[in-house]
Structure 1
């Protein structure tokens, strides 16, 4: 995937316009700041303690884009004509492989962006992009997983039109608690 991908999402009465684009090193410091939030760290499997960690994490995301198996987008508050707005969230398409019918969607939202409809709109934009980009390569469904006690993520899945499928058993150490599996299928 050599063409830079930029997705734009219109503002709503309660939420800002969004720009989704691959992560750049310019966001490393903002990423470290966002990860100071204990609630975010509670639900994510990685931590970013400082700017150096942020730089390593962004470089890892860039390498995954180049490999074509993980596509992580910084979600920014749109500024008129500028692609460097305030960091609001991350959305990611994971475990993508040619011919594989399923991939996983993940996301997190910065504390200052919660409750503004950022996550569902970003997940919806990622979902549309994923199906448009990879349907011809065999992508038929996207899976969204979250811990059973993460009610906010369950609401995001529902708002993003991902249907609840089943409860998944805990799988320590990566998944210490049971989870929910939500699925969205491509339209014919």
Structure 2
């Protein structure tokens, strides 16, 4: 059985959402565990170019990558990072699927929403984390693995488009295949768009 499947993609004028899954036999799974183990303070982050096999967009530039964040934390402590690594190891040993999501934003669109400043190159990372959390919550509600899965993510600034990479696993697998429904992807997009537009209205 192949360890990867074709990428699913859905887009809006402001961003593109891509998702795929890999099986536990894929090198991408072990590579991500190693990435978590090496992820330290932002000034020392060394990205693994194989973290997501399909997306060869990485540059080893610590100034252009956020620290890992999760559903509950904007930045992981050493203890939390260790727990996350152990969780992913357990998932790997139990044969879990790993879902990989990427949201790639159109920077001018983010600027219109008040999230990004082209002149200073600064972005509202907290807001980007929050909208990703809302999108993941919507996905869990529609696909069902909310109580049995965990995810971690990082924001990347190493291309012309700010993008967020997410990895999701189940410590005790509940499914053999991981393709998501098109309606789920649309709902995830809707959460991102609506909440960024809401922020723009709040700023007026």
Higher RCO (C-alpha under 8 Å, 6+ residues apart): 2
Whose strand fraction is larger, Structure 1's or Structure 2's? Answer: 1
Place the TM-score, normalised by the shorter chain, in its bin. 0.3 to 0.5
Q: TM-score, normalised by structure 2?
A: 0.31
| Structure ranking higher in helix proportion | 2
Normalised TM-score (structure 1): 0.33
